[in-house]
Amino acid sequence: MALCFLLLISILGAVCQATNMDGQVFLFPSESIVNYVTLKQELNVPLKSFTVCLRAFTELTREYSLLSVSSPKTDNALLLLHSKHPERPIDINVDGQAMSFRGKLKALERTHMCVAWDSSSGVTQLWLNGKPHIRKVMKRGATIQTPLKMILGQEQDSFGGSFDKNQSFEGEISDVHMWDHVLSPADIQQVFLNNKHLNGNVISWRDLPFEINGEVLIEPVQKGVCEDQALIVCQCKI
């Protein structure tokens, strides 16, 4: 019976109950169309605003997807993509519309990213390592319809699939949180500093149901890498 269960997991992927992932990362070891993590969120109402935050650590300089959210209506309901554009490499896609930002995810530097969008104004903002970038306006009045497929490490060109290995992620992703509203700048700073009392109400890294597909590992945060990247003093685990 145990052998059959392990075989079933290897075929269908590793399904987990909600897990506290604090102090751990998803490690994506190679370029692939089969390595990804599906986040099993429960969202029954359309999104009219959101804030999503995560940390990424990679040596990639090519295009890659961090978070891809699709609906049956729109494959890019929400997409966080590092593009090939040399001057505006961060693409944020909301309800099928893309907006490019000049901020940069530097290779071999652990980066914290937050993105917020509000339908009523269309205001879209990016924060990198707690620092805000120029606000832009996109998809004013739009609504992100449910159901949603939320995937780390691949870019969906259809609802839950149609991946391209040239857009796959290699490296580490952690501290993924999502809210159904726009966080204040003060709260963004607290999320960046890893305040354990601020957890997403749509996706929470500290109460995360997920499914691993392919070869994605769960590993502890590397020793010597700063988890809490304070603006003035950063205390590293040694």
| 232 within some domain | no
- Residue 110, judged by CB atoms within 10 A of its CB (0-12, 13-18, 19+), counts as buried
Average pLDDT score over residue span 58-86 = 92
pLDDT the model gives residue 41: 84
pLDDT the model gives residue 54: 98
Short-list 187, 222, 226, 205, CA closest to 67 = 205
| 8 within some domain | no
Q: Extract the tokens encoding 117.
A: 């969008």
| 177 within some domain | yes
| 47 within some domain | yes
176 in Cβ contact with 203 (< 8 Å): yes
Residue 2: is its pLDDT beyond 60?
no
CA distance 149 to 39: 8
Q: Please, which pLDDT band fits residue 181 given cuts at 50, 70 and 90?
A: very high
The residue range of the domain holding 209 is 23-220
Which ranges constitute the DSSP H helices of 18-151? none
| 146 within some domain | yes
| 70 within some domain | yes
Taking only the tens place, the pLDDT of each residue in 125-143 is 999 999 999 999 999 999 9
Taking only the tens place, the pLDDT of each residue in 91-110 is 999 999 999 998 777 777 89
Q: Please, which pLDDT band fits residue 5 given cuts at 50, 70 and 90?
A: very low
E-state strands within the chain: 14-19, 24-28, 36-39, 49-57, 64-70, 78-82, 90-94, 97-101, 111-118, 123-128, 131-132, 136-137, 149-152, 171-179, 208-213, 217-220
| 55 within some domain | yes
Task: Please name the residue that has the structure tokens 């609802």.
Answer: 159
The CA-based angle 201-169-6, given to 5 degrees, is: 75
Residue 232: Cβ within 10 Å count? 4
Q: Extract the tokens encoding 19.
A: 């897990």
Q: Please, which pLDDT band fits residue 23 given cuts at 50, 70 and 90?
A: very high
| 238 within some domain | no
Q: Please, which pLDDT band fits residue 22 given cuts at 50, 70 and 90?
A: very high
Q: Please, which pLDDT band fits residue 233 given cuts at 50, 70 and 90?
A: very low
Report percent pLDDT > 70 for the chain.
Answer: 87
Average pLDDT score over residue span 75-81 = 95
Residue 3: is its pLDDT beyond 70?
no
CATH number at residue 103: 2.60.120.200
Q: What is the pTM of this model?
A: 0.87
128 in Cβ contact with 135 (< 8 Å): no
**In the chain, helix, strand, coil percent, each to 5?**
10, 40, 50
**123-to-60, 101, 148, 207, 214 alpha-carbon distances in Å:** 29, 13, 22, 29, 37
Residue 225: is its pLDDT beyond 90?
no
Number of domains in the chain: 1
Q: Please, which pLDDT band fits residue 170 given cuts at 50, 70 and 90?
A: very high
Task: Give the chain's mean pLDDT.
Answer: 87
Relative to beta strand 24-28, strand 217-220 is: antiparallel
CA distance 25 to 12: 21
